[in-house]
Amino acid sequence: MLVERKALRFTPAGLPVTECVIRHESEQIEADRPRRVEFEIQAIALGPLAQWLQAAAPGAELQLAGFLAARSRNGRQPRLHLTMIEFVEGNQDGTIFQEEG
């Protein structure tokens, strides 16, 4: 779920960027037992994905894919770099947008 989304901004090279916070909630199996998993993580989308993320309002259910990378060179806190956004439950008619390349 999209918890918070910052305004669209642009890099010095003109690339659109959107930063956000997402919440994950699920039940996973660990050691043959169910485990409730809940966490929030900062995420970032660049290029066309950043513009698509702007269409999602806080509270929207999204299916996301991407990779984890350190937030900065000196910091070790992870941030999810989005490579795919799927709007679910009727948001934007289920449109899937995936970064090409």
Which stretches does DSSP call E strand in 1-101?
2-5, 9-10, 16-30, 33-46, 62-70, 78-87, 96-98
Tell whether pTM > 0.75.
yes
Residue spans of alpha helices (H) in 32-77: 48-53
Residue range 12-66, pLDDT digits in tens:
999 999 999 999 999 999 999 999 999 999 999 999 999 999 989 999 999 999 9
Residue with the larger pLDDT of the pair 62 and 98 = 62
Q: Dihedral sign, CA of 34, 61, 46, 4?
A: negative
Asked if residue 72 has pLDDT above 90, the reply is: no
- CATH code assigned at 50: 2.40.50.140
Residue with the larger pLDDT of the pair 50 and 99 = 50
- Per the listing, tokens 């642009």 go with 10
- Enclosing domain of residue 94: 2-98
Confidence bin at 88 (pLDDT 50/70/90): confident
Cα torsion 70, 71, 73, 74 to 10°: value is -100
Total number of domains in the chain? 1
| Per-residue pLDDT at 30 | 97
